Amino acid sequence: MAALIEIERLTKRFGAFTAVDDVSFTVNRGEVVGFLGPNGAGKSTTMKMLAGFVTPTAGTARICGQDVIEAPVAAKRALGYLPEGAPTYPEMTVTGFLHFIARIRGFGGAEANERMARAMAMTQLEGVRLQPIETLSKGFKRRVGLAQALLHDPPVLVLDEPTDGLDPNQKHEVRELIRRMAPEKAIVISTHILEEVDAVCTRAIIIARGKVLADATPKQLEAPGKTLEQVFRDLTLKQEAA
């Protein structure tokens, strides 16, 4: 069976600066891949290219077989994307914003209401559903962003720092949600939090200065006598010094 996410030799240059350098990997249904790297490693730029929001300088990215540049609408129908910062319309209420997203996704009437209710239940937003988004805490705003990514029940999820701004209990809830969804989806989580990888990921890809340094299960990455954190630090420091 073909992978739900296929990235081949993806490269992005901004002038003389190469943010992403010849990155390739695939993600199958049932996999949760932690995309790890220090700040400025190229994680978010890779995620934006996969989501079709940044055009690659070279290489290709496909979601469920659809090229994100050649068939952007078809690719995005299969994608739930939580971007960095999760921009929303702050003056809208949570319900108003999710209803807006439902309409954009082509849902109306009872189906739109059912999908909104399900997304709010999954992200535990019912208690703030009538509040303007601008009045919410950072953690609740992050959950609104996650709800819009889940609303159309896509087979592929790309989540950029999904637990950013959440308190420990909220982080646990989001990680449990990811674990429950994992068997039916291909999920990529961009993060710099190693704890996140240990908690929910079946694979870890380490990137630094735009290059993939490792791609294996968290256990496979742990060298004898070294934790994942130590291996991550060694690999990224070596790449930074190169």
Render pLDDT for 145-160 as a digit per residue (tens, 0 to 9). 999 999 999 999 999 9
Domain boundaries, the chain: 37-215
- 111: tokens are 């189906």
Q: Are 27 and 188 in contact (CB under 8 A)?
A: yes
Render pLDDT for 54-107 as a digit per residue (tens, 0 to 9). 999 999 999 999 999 999 999 999 999 998 876 788 899 999 999 999 999 999
Please report, rounded to a whole number, the percentage of residues in the chain having pLDDT higher than 70.
98
* Residue among 23, 45, 34, 32 at smallest CA distance from 194: 34
Q: Which of 90-94, 145-149, 184-188, 225-229 has the lowest mean pLDDT?
A: 225-229
> Per-residue pLDDT for 226 more than 80?
no
> Per-residue pLDDT for 219 more than 80?
yes
The sign of the dihedral angle between the CA atoms of 96, 102, 107, 113 is negative
pTM (two decimals): 0.91
Q: Quick one: pLDDT band at residue 1, thresholds 50, 70, 90?
A: low
pLDDT for res 242: 67
> Per-residue pLDDT for 2 more than 80?
no
C-alpha–C-alpha distance, residues 209 and 156, integer Å: 26
Phi, psi (degrees; rounded to nearest 5) at 60: -135, 155
The sign of the dihedral angle between the CA atoms of 12, 18, 19, 21 is positive
Average of per-residue pLDDT across 23-32: 96
37-215 CATH choice from 3.40.50.300, 2.102.10.10, 3.40.50.150, 3.40.50.1010: 3.40.50.300
Location of structure tokens 């990455």: 221
C-alpha–C-alpha distance, residues 113 and 119, integer Å: 10
